[in-house]
Amino acid sequence: MKSEKYIKGILKGLNRYLTFFLVVAFAITCCMMLFVSTLIDNLGIVLTDQNVNAAAVLTFWNVLFISLIFTVIDVIRRKLTVERPVKRITDAAEKMAQGDFTVRIEPQSRFSIYGIFDRIITCFNKLAEELGSVETLRTDFIANVSHEMKTPLAVMQNYGTLLQASELSDEKRIEYAKGVADGSRRLADMMTNILKLNRLENQQIYPQTTEFDLGEQLCECLLQYENVWEKAEIEIDTDIAENVKVRADAELLSLVWNNLFSNAFKFTEAGGIVSVTLTVTDHHAIVKVRDTGCGMSPEVGTHIFEKFYQGDTSHSVQGNGLGLALVKRVMDIMQGEIGVESTLGKGTTFTVKIRRA
C-alpha cells in the first residue's frame, strides 16, 4: 500500500517534470533560433558543426536544470496552496460523515489570499453548524417524546396491575379503569399533536385557503367549550367585530383558537373570566384571548412556544406542551403574529394578528 503510494508519487513527479521539460525546451529553442539567426544575418557569423554541437549539449543540460527547478517550485507551491487546504477540508468532511458535527475548519489566512478555499471553508463551517443544530433538535425531540410517553405508560401499568386484584369494589374497579382510559387518551392526544406538528413542519404548500368570516369561526370554536366553562364556573365575555373576512386555511386557524381557548379555561380558576375580542385595523384582524387565571412569570413566558415545554406543572396531566408550539408554527406559515402578556397570579392575554382578505 505504502510502496504503491510511493510509486504513484514518483510517476506524478516525472509527469510534471516531463511537462516542464517540453515547455522549457520549446521556449528556449524558439528563443535561441531567433537569436542565432539574427546574429548570422546581421554580423555574418558562420557556424560550424562543432560550434552548434557544443552549444546544443550545453543548452540541453540547461533545459534539464531549469525544468528541474520549475518542477520543485511547482511541487512546493501545490503542496502549500492546494494539497494542504484540500486535505484539511477532506479530513473534516470525513469526520462529519462519521456523525461528528462539531468539526470546524480554521480559515486559511487572515488576509484571504486563498480566495476559493476560504469560501469553501466558510460554506463547510456553515453546513456543519446547520447539520449540528438539526441533529440536536432531532435528538432532543426523540428524548422528549420518549420521556413524555413514559409517564402515561407507567400510570396505565400501575392501574392495570391494581385491576388484577381479585377482590375489588365496583368503585375501585371503575376508578382504575378510568385511570387506564385517561392514560391512553393522553398518549393518543400526544401522538395526534406530534403528527400535526410534523405535518406542519414538513409541508410547504397549503392549498386549502378560502375566504371566510373570522368572527363566525371564533364563535363556533368558543361554543365547543360551553360544557367546560359551565362546569368550571367561568364567565365568558366576548366583543367580536362583524363581517371580518380573512383568507386562510380555516382548519389550521381553528387549531390556533382551540389551543388558546383550552389553555385559557385550563389555567383559570372557578369564578374567573375568559374574554375574546376581535377588532380590525386597515390591513389586519386582531384577536385577543384574555383570562384572569394563574398567569405566568416572564421566565416561563419566554419558553411557552417551545415543543414539550410546560411551565405550569400542576396542569401537566391535561396537556403535553405541544399546543403553543403548534400555534406558533401555524402563525409562521400564515405570516401572522402572536404575542403574549401575562402577570403571575393575575392573568394572561394572547394577541393574534392576521392579514385581512
CA distances 117 to 87, 89, 90, 105, 270, Å, are: 11, 9, 12, 11, 66
Whose Cβ is closer to ligand ADP: residue 264's or residue 331's?
Answer: 264
Nearer to ligand ADP among residue 125 and residue 258 (C-beta): 258
Judge contact between 278 and 239, C-beta under 8 A: yes
What is the CB-side half-sphere exposure of residue 123 using CA atoms within 13 A? 7
Across the beta sheet with 235-240, what order do the strands follow?
A: 235-240, 273-280, 284-291, 347-355, 337-343
Backbone φ and ψ for 274, nearest 5 degrees, come out as: -115, 125
In the complex, minimum distance from the CB of residue 214 to ligand ADP, in angstroms, rounded to a whole number: 21
Q: What is the CA radius of gyration of the chain?
A: 38
**Looking at beta carbons only, is 144 or 263 nearer to ligand ADP?**
263
Give first-to-last CA distance, the chain, whole Å. 71
- From the CB of 279, what's the least distance to ligand ADP, in Å? 20
Considering beta carbons, is residue 128 or 322 the nearer one to ligand ADP? 322
CB of 200 to ligand ADP, least distance (A): 14
Place of cell 383558537: 257
Strand spans (E) along 241-346:
245-249, 273-280, 284-291, 337-343
State the nearest-atom distance from the C-beta of 298 to ligand ADP, in Å. Answer: 12
Q: Which residues pair with 291 in a beta bridge?
A: 274, 348
Give the nearest distance from C-beta 80 to ligand ADP in angstroms: 56
Residue (227 or 314) nearer to ligand ADP, CB: 314
| Nearest alpha-carbon partner for 316 in 186, 179, 123, 202 | 186
Q: Which residues bind ligand ADP (CB under 6 A)?
A: 259, 263-264, 267, 291, 293-296, 300, 304, 309-312, 319-325, 348
Do residues 338 and 352 touch, judged by C-beta distance below 8 A? yes
C-alpha span between 215 and 243 (Å, rounded): 7
Shortest spacing between CB 191 and ligand ADP, in angstroms = 14
Name which of 144 and 310 has its Cβ closer to ligand ADP.
Answer: 310
What region, left, alpha or beta, does residue 152 occupy, with left being phi > 0 and alpha being psi -120 to 50 degrees? Answer: alpha
> In one letter, which amino acid is 128?
A
User: What is the closest distance, in whole angstroms, from the C-beta atom of residue 287 to ligand ADP in the complex?
Assistant: 14
Residue 151 CB, nearest approach to ligand ADP (Å) = 13
Instruction: For strands 235-240 and 273-280, give the pairing.
Output: parallel
**212: phi then psi, degrees, rounded to nearest 5:** -150, 170
Tell me the residue nearest to ligand ADP as measured from the CB.
Answer: 319
Cβ proximity to ligand ADP, 63 vs 287, nearer residue: 287
Q: Which is nearer to ligand ADP, 128 or 255 (CB)?
A: 255
